[in-house]
Amino acid sequence: MDVISVIRTKRDRGELSPEQIDWVIDAYTRGVVADEQMSALAMAILLNGMNRAEIKRWTAAMIASGERMNFDSLSRPTADKHSTGGVGDKITLPLAPLVAACGAAVPQLSGRGLGHTGGTLDKLESIPGWRALLSNEEMLHVLDTTGAVICAAGDGLAPADKKLYALRDVTGTVEAIPLIASSIMSKKIAEGTGSLVLDVKVGTGAFMKNIEDARELASTMVALGTDSGVKTIALLTDMSTPLGLTAGNALEIRESVEVLAGGGPSDVVELTLALAREMLDAAGIKDADPAKALADGSAMDVWRRMIAAQGGDPDAALPVAREQHVVTAPESGVLTRLDAYGVGVGAWRLGAGRARKEDPVQAGAGIEMHAKPGDTVTAGQPLMTLHTDTPEKFEYALASLEGTFDIAPAGTAFSATPIVMDRIA
């Protein structure tokens, strides 16, 4: 077997054999195949695609590059959720303890933010003492004792994907749907969850800008999960407008705690409950009511135990940025658009995100929104408050917010896009 023949096969629109796929993934993980050779293959896959058999084998080969976790010792069925990323997407934070409060075990392996999309681990690390890095034994202990754990994936889980993901990020091949699907699903299948709900974002603030591409990605991932014996469902959800009223690490933690306390923005509550119901159904738990678990405080109890089990103090004050800048409405009327991508870039430029994986983030940085599409606003009213420790970032962030919102004359009819746009099973 040699890498040149593998590249040529896909370059010439051929189908890679199982043996070719197994060999190239293993050889790349071991360093036998060079980065420039794998980048050529990734580009050929981006341009020419893969069929279902190829994607399935590619995913299996990435799983086989590392360890597989097992939760058979738990007394509860396991259910996990994955989001393809967005702006203000804090759903994992209230969702994991909520589903655990209803009887499932939630092993949530999460990531960090890159660019305009926020990362769950960055948000949680704004809680004093909280630890993202757990050993497999620690992860299992937290899951067994609290019902939910949110942590970073260990180095032993699908190491081929970790190496290939970094390469795709710098070679313009991130958009290849077969590689996106296999990247996500190799980690989730190796994680060992019994069921999985995918939140595939659609819109300006999402990776998938149109519903056709999102549906293709969702269908591919559902097929991969199903073929591997993991009950998998996908919801296509709107990301043209930021979720909730905050985008930023500590800001989103505060908003998530509000949801767990029975309040919070209606869109965050709606999507959290929709995903919770899907996760519980997939896990075979039919008689639990997640809305009741939010209202009676049981989800909050799990949150507090989960945070404490990972070294965090659920009662500690969260970081607050040293500087603020208010953006006001230039005229009166109805706010008809608030672009998720512009808000996400603004929060990133304020210090809430990173351009490279090794960059630090500011815990208190981000954007607080005071109105959402459909709201009536008056001239001079605060629309957004920008938060950062470094005021020289305001000008750069404000540039990204130019053209981000539209205000129509008072009385203009407004029709919101449904948060859940489609379901694929």
pLDDT at 61 over 90: yes
Across 369-388, b (16+ Cβ under 10 Å) vs e yields: bbbbbeeebeeeeebbbbbb
CA 225 to chain centre: 18
Query: How far apart, in whole angstroms, are the C-alpha atoms of residue 387 and residue 369?
Result: 11
Query: How far apart, in whole angstroms, are the C-alpha atoms of residue 401 and residue 329?
Result: 13
Listing DSSP states for 388-417 in one string gives ES-GGGHHHHHHHHTT-EEEEPTT----PP
Residue 307 pLDDT: 98
148 touches 157 (CB < 8 A): no
Catalytic residues: 82, 161, 168, 183, 187
Query: How far apart, in whole angstroms, are the C-alpha atoms of residue 345 and residue 398?
Result: 10
Q: Average pLDDT of 348-353?
A: 94
pLDDT at 285 over 90: yes
Query: How far apart, in whole angstroms, are the C-alpha atoms of residue 364 and residue 351?
Result: 9
217 touches 181 (CB < 8 A): yes
**Both structure tokens of 171:** 């070679």
Q: Average pLDDT of 132-153?
A: 95
Q: For residue 93, what are the CA distances in angstroms to 96, 97, 214, 352, 389?
A: 6, 8, 23, 17, 24
Q: Average pLDDT of 313-333?
A: 98
Residue 264 pLDDT: 97
- Mean pLDDT over the full length of the chain: 95
Query: How far apart, in whole angstroms, are the C-alpha atoms of residue 220 and residue 107?
Result: 23
Residue 355 pLDDT: 74
275 touches 81 (CB < 8 A): yes
Q: Average pLDDT of 354-380?
A: 92
Amino acid sitting at position 362: Q
pLDDT in tens, 326-346: 999 999 999 999 999 999 999
> DSSP 3-state assignment of 318?
coil
pLDDT at 113 over 90: no
Q: Confidence class of residue 354 from pLDDT cuts 50, 70 and 90?
A: confident
Lowest mean pLDDT among 62-66, 163-167, 286-290: 163-167
271 touches 420 (CB < 8 A): yes
Q: Confidence class of residue 392 from pLDDT cuts 50, 70 and 90?
A: very high
Q: Confidence class of residue 207 from pLDDT cuts 50, 70 and 90?
A: confident
Amino acid sitting at position 314: P
DSSP annotation of 131 reads: -
Query: How far apart, in whole angstroms, are the C-alpha atoms of residue 179 and residue 194?
Result: 23
pLDDT at 197 over 80: yes
72 touches 108 (CB < 8 A): no
pLDDT at 221 over 90: yes
Q: Confidence class of residue 170 from pLDDT cuts 50, 70 and 90?
A: confident
pLDDT at 358 over 80: no
Residue 356 pLDDT: 73
Helix, strand, coil tally for the chain in percent (to 5): 45, 15, 40
Cα angle at 355 between 350 and 359, to 5 degrees? 85
* Domain residue ranges of the chain, discontinuous segments joined by +: 3-49, 80-155+173-309, 323-408
User: Residue written as tokens 């960055």?
Assistant: 122
Architecture label for domain 80-155+173-309: 3-Layer(aba) Sandwich (3.40)
Q: Tell which CATH classification among 1.10.150.170, 1.20.970.10, 2.60.120.380, 3.40.50.300 matches the domain 3-49.
A: 1.20.970.10
Domain 323-408 fold is: Aldehyde Oxidoreductase; domain 3 (3.90.1170)
Query: How far apart, in whole angstroms, are the C-alpha atoms of residue 251 and residue 261?
Result: 16
pLDDT at 103 over 90: yes
DSSP annotation of 24 reads: H
pLDDT in tens, 256-281: 999 999 999 999 999 999 999 999 99
Q: Which helix (H) or strand (E) holds 151?
A: strand 148-152
**Both structure tokens of 357:** 């994986």
High-pLDDT (> 90) share of the chain, %: 91
Q: φ and ψ at 131, to 5 degrees?
A: -115, 130
Q: Confidence class of residue 114 from pLDDT cuts 50, 70 and 90?
A: confident
Query: How far apart, in whole angstroms, are the C-alpha atoms of residue 119 and residue 359?
Result: 13
397 touches 388 (CB < 8 A): yes
Q: Confidence class of residue 155 from pLDDT cuts 50, 70 and 90?
A: confident
More confident residue, 153 or 321: 321
Lowest mean pLDDT among 79-83, 297-301, 350-354, 361-365: 350-354
338 touches 373 (CB < 8 A): yes
More confident residue, 331 or 119: 331
